[in-house]
């Protein structure tokens, strides 16, 4: 069971009840107690609990494609089982998969790597965490533009670092400027984390914008960029841009990607980093001590994803683009919401602050946490509060669901919000 609890001044997060007393919780490590539970997972869990009670909840809180994994990829996994890929794999992943990733990076991104510069992990989430744990010392600073994916600051805290949040708000299309980056860098800065296309906003950095940010980074030798590109193929504005393509930046960049979003393979848990060999060796040492190599069958499926026909990727991208257009049109017709047009990923991140202070006579909306709870309780639509992403004036909706669900969810939201006075 999950509840929403206040954490510090004017900030809420979702916490899970384990029937433990505060005294019992005190026996957990300080490292763990520094972390906040994932708000996105909490809202999804709450939605599932309501559905189990027979309540018709439309879940727009989940960050995963609603499509099934393509048949050819599943066939490759079945073949791997039949061929007895049931043993431990090498810690960095099978050489054949790393070779397929190297070829993908060259073919699609114009980036040259060797297989010794690739490390395969249990999802891109572990890839990001590996990198942070391998590079951040106690007291190091990590610059994170807000809105951000909920786990970035928590991973930095786990490593003993200090998240430095840079507000890149609605008015600047949720993208950090070079001046903001320069102003945030100090002698303690170790990393910059960039997510493009972005979760939660759908914003996409152009190559020109990345060039400008790279010019700032190059002036600070200690700073390395984690480029989270997991939504690379869900892009509505043309070809994907990577900061690793900028002259002098491949040596300063850790590219994170995987098969979860592009190939509808979230549960297969395969992600990777492409990085200088010294970083890959460090992450390999870390991974070898706490998870070892990822699932052998999943790796063979991922190899198929990268080497077989890619039409499925474009078909899913087109479906997401159509849904993007649909949800933007419907959201713009809801009085009080401010809506931008996402350029990638499958999220809408509207500003909802005009509803703060309003009430339906029973519930008063004080912040985006109240707003998302109101939508869940009154409209039976699960969303995620912007507080969780460092953007307290907004909330996130995933449109990785059917057109029918989008139409019905937006109707429910509009009807519920019209009751607020």
| 179 part of a folded domain | yes
Do 302 and 327 lie in a common domain? no
| 75 part of a folded domain | no
For residue 28, give its domain range: 2-63+312-417
Banded model confidence at residue 23, pLDDT cuts 50, 70, 90 = low
| 73 part of a folded domain | no
Among 270, 292, 307, identify where a domain stops: 307
Do 296 and 318 lie in a common domain? no
The arithmetic mean of pLDDT across residues 195-212, rounded, is: 98
Q: Is the pLDDT confidence value at 265 over 90?
A: yes
Burial label, 280 (beta-carbon count in 10 A; 0-12, 13-18, 19+): buried
The arithmetic mean of pLDDT across residues 287-314, rounded, is: 97
For residue 329, what are its two tokens? 């049109």
Among 307, 338, 354, identify where a domain stops: 307
Do 226 and 369 lie in a common domain? no
For residue 342, what are its two tokens? 């996402």
Cβ atoms of 360 and 420 within 8 Å: the answer is yes
Q: Is the pLDDT confidence value at 5 over 60?
A: no
Q: Is the pLDDT confidence value at 30 over 90?
A: no
| 162 part of a folded domain | yes
Neighbours of 335 (CB within 10 A): 9
Do 344 and 228 lie in a common domain? no
For residues 39 and 259, which has the higher predicted lDDT (pLDDT)?
A: 259
For residues 47 and 313, which has the higher predicted lDDT (pLDDT)?
A: 313
The arithmetic mean of pLDDT across residues 380-407, rounded, is: 96
| 215 part of a folded domain | yes
* pTM strictly above 0.85: yes
For residues 328 and 9, which has the higher predicted lDDT (pLDDT)?
A: 328
Do 197 and 219 lie in a common domain? yes
For residue 143, what are its two tokens? 């610059």
Q: What percent of the chain has pLDDT over 90?
A: 87
Do 276 and 359 lie in a common domain? no
| 81 part of a folded domain | no
Q: What is the pLDDT of residues 157-190, one digit of tens each?
A: 999 999 999 999 999 999 999 999 999 999 999 9
Banded model confidence at residue 367, pLDDT cuts 50, 70, 90 = very high
| 375 part of a folded domain | yes
The arithmetic mean of pLDDT across residues 195-220, rounded, is: 98
CATH number at residue 233: 3.40.640.10
Do 347 and 372 lie in a common domain? yes
The arithmetic mean of pLDDT across residues 91-117, rounded, is: 98
Do 201 and 279 lie in a common domain? yes
Q: Is the pLDDT confidence value at 399 over 90?
A: yes
Sequence-ordered strand ranges (E) for 151-286: 162-167, 189-195, 224-228, 253-258, 271-274
Banded model confidence at residue 22, pLDDT cuts 50, 70, 90 = low
pLDDT of residue 24: 65
Q: Is the pLDDT confidence value at 262 over 70?
A: yes
Q: What percent of the chain has pLDDT over 70?
A: 94
pLDDT of residue 43: 80
Do 93 and 186 lie in a common domain? yes
pLDDT of residue 42: 77
The arithmetic mean of pLDDT across residues 98-102, rounded, is: 98
| 69 part of a folded domain | no
The arithmetic mean of pLDDT across residues 396-403, rounded, is: 97
Banded model confidence at residue 315, pLDDT cuts 50, 70, 90 = very high
Q: Is the pLDDT confidence value at 415 over 90?
A: yes
- SS3 call for 152: helix
Question: Into how many domains does the chain fold?
Answer: 2
CATH number at residue 363: 3.90.1150.10
Q: How high does pLDDT run on average in the chain? A: 93
Do 229 and 324 lie in a common domain? no
Do 365 and 400 lie in a common domain? yes
Do 189 and 293 lie in a common domain? yes
For residue 127, what are its two tokens? 């890839």
pLDDT of residue 10: 35
**Sheet order of strands, 384-385 included:** 347-348, 395-398, 384-385
Q: What is the pLDDT of residues 121-135, one digit of tens each?
A: 999 999 999 999 999
Among 262, 278, 307, identify where a domain stops: 307
């Amino acid at each position: 069971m999950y509840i929403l609890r206040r954490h510090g001044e004017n900030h809420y997060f979702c916490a899970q009840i384990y029937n433990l007393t505060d005294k019992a919780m005190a026996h957990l490590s300080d490292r763990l107690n520094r972390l906040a539970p994932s708000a996105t997972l909490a809202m999804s869990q709450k939605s599932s609990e309501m559905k189990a009670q027979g309540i018709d909840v439309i879940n727009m809180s989940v960050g995963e494609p609603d499509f099934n994994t393509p048949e050819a990829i599943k066939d490759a996994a079945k073949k791997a089982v039949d061929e007895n890929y049931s043993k431990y794999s090498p810690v960095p992943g099978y050489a054949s998969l790393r070779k397929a990733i190297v070829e993908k990076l060259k073919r699609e991104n114009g980036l040259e790597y060797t297989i010794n510069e690739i490390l395969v992990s249990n999802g891109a989430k572990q890839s990001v965490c590996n990198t942070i744990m391998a590079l951040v010392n106690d007291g190091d600073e990590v610059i994170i533009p807000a809105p951000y994916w909920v786990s970035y600051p928590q991973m930095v805290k786990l490593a003993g670092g200090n998240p430095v949040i840079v507000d890149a708000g609605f008015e600047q299309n949720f993208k950090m400027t070079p001046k903001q980056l320069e102003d945030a860098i100090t002698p303690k800065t170790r990393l910059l984390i960039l997510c493009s296309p972005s979760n939660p906003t759908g914003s996409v950095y152009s190559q020109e914008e990345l060039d400008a940010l790279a010019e700032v980074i190059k002036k600070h030798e200690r700073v390395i960029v984690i480029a989270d590109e997991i939504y690379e193929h869900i892009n509505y504005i043309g070809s994907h841009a990577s900061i690793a393509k900028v002259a002098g930046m491949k040596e300063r960049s850790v590219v994170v990607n995987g098969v979860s979003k592009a190939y509808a393979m979230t549960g297969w848990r395969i992600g990777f980093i492409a990085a200088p060999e010294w970083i890959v060796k460090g992450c390999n040492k870390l991974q070898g001590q706490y998870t070892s190599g990822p699932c052998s069958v999943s790796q063979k499926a991922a190899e198929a994803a990268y080497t077989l026909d890619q039409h499925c990727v474009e078909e899913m991208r087109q479906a997401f683009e159509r849904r993007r257009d649909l949800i933007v049109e419907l959201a713009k017709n809801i009085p009080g919401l401010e809506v931008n047009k996402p350029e990638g990923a499958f999220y809408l991140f509207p500003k909802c602050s005009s509803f703060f202070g309003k009430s339906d006579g029973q519930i008063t909306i004080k912040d985006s946490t109240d707003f998302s709870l109101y939508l869940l309780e009154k409209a039976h639509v699960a969303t995620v509060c912007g507080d969780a992403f460092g953007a307290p004036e907004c909330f996130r909706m995933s449109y990785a669901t059917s057109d029918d669900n989008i139409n019905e969810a937006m109707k429910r939201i509009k009807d519920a919000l019209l009751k607020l006075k």
